Amino acid sequence: MSATVENRRSEEMIKKAKKQSPWAIARRKLFSNKLAMISLGFLVLVTILAYLAPVIAPFDPYRVDIMNRNASPSADHWLGTDNSGRDILSLLIYGGRTSLTIGFICMFAVVIIGTTIGSIAGFYGGLVDSLLMRFTDFVMNFPYLVFVIVLASIFREAGIWALILVISSLGWTGAARVVRSKTMSEKENEYVMAAISIGGTPFKVIRKHLLPNVMTTIIVQATLLLAVMIVAETALSFLGFGVPAGTPSWGNMMSEARQPHVIRTMWWVWVPPAMAITLTILAINFIGEGIKDAFNPKSTR
């Protein structure tokens, strides 16, 4: 009697397991990955704090206070003040908003450009593919950072949107290549041929049939790209070619540390943004690894 109950239960479980979509399996795997979940929690927390900046920041980040320049951490200013007396903690929170926003926008732009070019090249193949890929290789030949710096210096007056345009217009090549190779292998499947044979237009086949199957690759790429884009923005701002000086951003905060005496004596000016950048990138990398692992059918974690 109990044996049949056991049997039925296990049969049900198998049925349940079979019913699970790849997405559900991946989600379950991701949720059980402690490191990725802690990282996700951290990233969400940082994002929420950054976007609540006007509510939680103790001071106005633009408020210059000549009397309180370069003050070390105190009860009033938890993380001290910078060269012009601005509160570091408030700058950090507002700066997070700038850096994360630019990072997210650039990531979306890069993913959209890369996915479009990659999927078109992979789907059509032939002449279209070789033209688009030659173009991608060509853009790849430029030293990324050098060109971004030179372009950003030319368009320095044009503000944040020009910066976003510059960062993303050169950063899509890797994503395009990955999406292309994935699309090419996915295209060989019968369901694509079936979709074409019943008269699906190329656009519809790519959007409805190919992209959902390439999505896992795109998501992993997007996570890793988010980290790259945040680094690009902070590095550019650090060098003075990014977000306009005066606007709070993690990179602009770090640029104070270009003077040796700041590094030597005023740790509270550069350690907070340095830690914020590093921990954010670390968290994003762990989430990316977690997602990659979750979608990998070979991993049994």
Partner 1 sequence: MLLYTLRRIVIMIPILIMISIVVFALALAMPGDALSGQIDPSNTKPEYIEEMREQLGLNDPVHVQYGRWAAGILQWDFGRSFVHRMDVTEAIGQRLPNTILLSVLSLLLTYVLAFFMGRYAGRHPYTIGDYGIQGLNYLMLAIPSFVAAIFAIFFFSFQLGWFPATGSIGSGVTPGTMEYYLSKLKHAALPAIVLGMLTTASYTQFLRNDIIENAQKDYVRTARAKGTPENKIYNKHILRNSIIPIVTLFGFDIGSIIGGAVIIETVFTYPGIGELLITSIGRRDSAVVIAITLMLSVATLVGNLIADLLYGVIDPRIRVE
Asked whether the beta carbons of 233 and 163 are under 8 A apart, the reply is yes
- Token pair listed for 197: 């044979």
- Token pair listed for 71: 């003050």
115 vs 174, beta carbon nearer partner 1: 174
63 binds partner 1 (CB under 8 A): no
299 binds partner 1 (CB under 8 A): no
> Closest approach of Cβ 253 to partner 1, in Å?
11
- DSSP string for residues in 57-97: -SS-TT---GGGTTPPP-SSSTT-B-TTS-BHHHHHHHHHH
100 binds partner 1 (CB under 8 A): no
Site size with partner 1, rule: CB under 8 A:
36
Side-chain half-sphere CA neighbours of 85 within 13 A: 7
147 binds partner 1 (CB under 8 A): yes
54 vs 143, beta carbon nearer partner 1: 143
Binding span for partner 1 by CB under 8 A among 99-107, 124-132, 143-151, 164-172: 143-151
Residue 125 corresponds to which amino acid? G
Binding span for partner 1 by CB under 8 A among 61-69, 125-133, 147-155, 206-214: 147-155
Asked whether the beta carbons of 291 and 30 are under 8 A apart, the reply is yes
Whole-angstrom CA distances from 75 to 79, 89, 112, 122 are 9, 12, 46, 59
298 binds partner 1 (CB under 8 A): no
Among 277, 287, 291, 294, the residue binding partner 1 under the rule CB under 8 A is 277
Question: What does the alpha-carbon distance between residue 263 and residue 259 come to, in Å, rounded to a whole number?
Answer: 7
92 vs 195, beta carbon nearer partner 1: 92
Neighbours of 132 (CB within 10 A): 19
Asked whether the beta carbons of 263 and 15 are under 8 A apart, the reply is no
132 vs 195, beta carbon nearer partner 1: 132
- Token pair listed for 100: 């994360």
49 vs 274, beta carbon nearer partner 1: 274
Among 16, 18, 264, 298, the residue binding partner 1 under the rule CB under 8 A is 264
> Closest approach of Cβ 286 to partner 1, in Å?
8
Among 44, 52, 56, 150, the residue binding partner 1 under the rule CB under 8 A is 150
- Token pair listed for 50: 């950054």
153 binds partner 1 (CB under 8 A): yes
179 vs 254, beta carbon nearer partner 1: 254
Side-chain half-sphere CA neighbours of 194 within 13 A: 5
Asked whether the beta carbons of 114 and 182 are under 8 A apart, the reply is no
> Closest approach of Cβ 57 to partner 1, in Å?
23
- DSSP string for residues in 138-164: HHHTS-HHHHHHHHHHHTGGG-HHHHH
151 binds partner 1 (CB under 8 A): yes
| Residue that is written with structure tokens 């049949």 in the block | 4
**Binding-site string for partner 1 from residue 221 to residue 260, where x marks contact by CB under 8 A and - marks none:** ------x---x--xx--xxxx------------x--xx-x
**Which residues form the interface with partner 1 (CB under 8 A)?**
138, 141-147, 149-151, 153-154, 227, 231, 234-235, 238-241, 254, 257-258, 260, 263-264, 267, 270, 274, 277-278, 281-282, 285-286
